[in-house]
Structure 1
Amino acid sequence: MRRTAYTHARRTDARYLTERIKKLEEKLETSQDEIKKLIVENRKIREEMRFFETMLLEEYRLLNSLMDKRRPKSRIHRL
């Protein structure tokens, strides 16, 4: 009788572990998919940031050139 209970416990333990591994693998796959999405989003945000940095720099240059034409010694800001 003890041997049967032990065998049953091992089978239950094996089923539990198999199910646990399956759940962990699913969770890992979900996490990997999320990471891939975040990497793509991060790249897009970086590209947008570069674009806006370029735009800001161009606006700054334009403002600077306009101010130089009107007042050669004018400054946009003070240090």
Structure 2
Amino acid sequence: MLTYLQSVILGFVFYGYGLGLFGKLDSVTGLATVIAVYGIQAVAIRLWLQRFRYGPIEWLWRALMYGRAPAFQNT
């Protein structure tokens, strides 16, 4: 999930359908942006998984595969 969300966020930041910053940032600033997005996601995922058993997409996938909604929160 982390990889897909990074693609969406960084696509929005760098390409024309979003902020369009590709080619406008120097290498250091672009790298810092990517590292910041990764760090924020890593912290957010850790906090999410402390409270919930699955990520939202994994929960949906399991619900569709098993034909019933699994418990969402940790017990």
Which bin holds the TM-score, normalised by the shorter protein? Answer: 0.3 to 0.5
Q: Identify which of structures 1 and 2 has the higher relative contact order when contacts are C-alpha pairs closer than 8 Å and 6+ apart.
A: 2
Q: Which of structures 1 and 2 has the bigger CA Rg? A: 1
The structure whose residues are more often helix, as a share, is: 1
